[in-house]
């Protein structure tokens, strides 16, 4: 089998099975984790957009993670007012559940290994 034939078979496999021939990026991994969280946890359906925003910020942004770990929510407001508003919209109970889910379920080393 020639290289050209193998390449075309690989192209068909990608189209048929929906496989992506690329390496996962941090954003893709975060999206997968947030979708798992939304399907496995009891969340307020009216706050899904805010939950996604806060999840992505806490998982992907080191500055936000440091502010959160230090409990510096005024610093979070200074860094990103939209994120701060999303945190307020989510509410304390849902935020606590979200952060607990991130701490227990989302492996931070997984994001360090990808681009």
**What is the distance between the alpha carbons of residues 64 and 54, in angstroms, rounded to a whole number?**
9
Task: Give domain status of residue 14, yes or no.
Answer: no
The tally of domains found in the chain comes to 1
Domain that holds residue 50: 24-112
- Assigned token pair, 13: 């496999």
* pTM, to two decimals: 0.70
| CA dist list (Å): 86 to 15, 49, 81, 89 | 38, 9, 9, 5
- φ, ψ of residue 114 in degrees (nearest 5): -110, 165
Q: How confident is the model at residue 14 (pLDDT cuts 50, 70, 90)?
A: low
Q: Is 50 exceeded by the pLDDT of residue 26? A: yes
Task: Give domain status of residue 17, yes or no.
Answer: no
Give percent above pLDDT 90 in the chain.
3
Task: Give domain status of residue 9, yes or no.
Answer: no
User: Which of 36, 90, 32 minimizes the C-alpha distance to 60?
Assistant: 32
Task: Give domain status of residue 1, yes or no.
Answer: no
Q: How confident is the model at residue 24 (pLDDT cuts 50, 70, 90)?
A: low
**What is the distance between the alpha carbons of residues 13 and 21, in angstroms, rounded to a whole number?**
10
């Amino acid at each position: 089998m020639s290289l050209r034939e193998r390449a075309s078979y690989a192209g068909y496999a990608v189209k048929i099975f929906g496989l992506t021939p690329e390496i996962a990026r941090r954003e893709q991994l975060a999206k997968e984790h947030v979708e798992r969280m939304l399907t496995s946890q009891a969340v307020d359906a009216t706050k899904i957009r805010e939950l996604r925003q806060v999840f992505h910020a806490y998982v992907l942004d080191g500055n936000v993670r440091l502010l959160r770990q230090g409990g510096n929510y005024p610093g979070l407001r200074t860094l990103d007012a939209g994120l701060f508003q999303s945190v307020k919209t989510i509410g304390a109970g849902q935020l606590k559940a979200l952060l607990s889910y991130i701490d227990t379920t989302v492996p931070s080393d997984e994001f360090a290994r990808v681009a």
